Amino acid sequence: MKNQPFDFHGSQFTIKVLSSESNDRYTVLDILHAANIGPAEHQHPAGPETFHIVEGDYAFFLNNKSIMAKAGDTVCVPTGALHRFVTGDKGGHAIVVSPPNLEFYFWEVSELLSKGDVSFEQESKIAKKYGQIFSDGSKHWK
């Protein structure tokens, strides 16, 4: 699982730090996002999330505010804050420090996606198990 790139909704995820390696405080992901995609609005009750943009442009929507981020920028999402993002026309590359156990959500969903479609309801259930709560299914990785 660690350091093995895998496909998640058309983007390449690599787990760099497992939650168990941080005493269950956080996980670190290296993500190459496809163009013009991002998750539905969601929150993380277990901790903050930080995005360091390596390449590309990202439009973040955080607590009903829009934040444009480009290479070199860092966006911090407070614990429990509703947020989502959409990548620009060329996609993007981000290093993401996420709340603990979120790597298992990405990994589990990617395994299911490799075998076929996964409904938003099914993905939401998996996400909730690992500490991510979606507010709705609109604009989810489309």
The residues, ordered by sequence, that sit 6+ positions from 64 with a Cβ below 8 Å of its Cβ are 82
pLDDT at position 130: 97
- Angle at Cα 131 formed by Cα 125 and Cα 133, nearest 5°? 60
Question: pLDDT tens across 45-100, in order?
Answer: 999 999 999 999 999 999 889 999 999 999 999 999 999 999 999 999 999 999 99
> Would you give the distance in Å from CA 88 to the centre of its chain?
16
| Statement: the pTM of the whole predicted model exceeds 0.85 | yes
Q: Domains in the chain, please, with CATH?
A: 6-133 (2.60.120.10)
Cβ atoms of 31 and 96 closer than 8 Å: yes
Give bridge partners of residue 92 from the DSSP assignment: 33, 56
The residues, ordered by sequence, that sit 6+ positions from 4 with a Cβ below 8 Å of its Cβ are 14, 15
pLDDT at position 139: 78
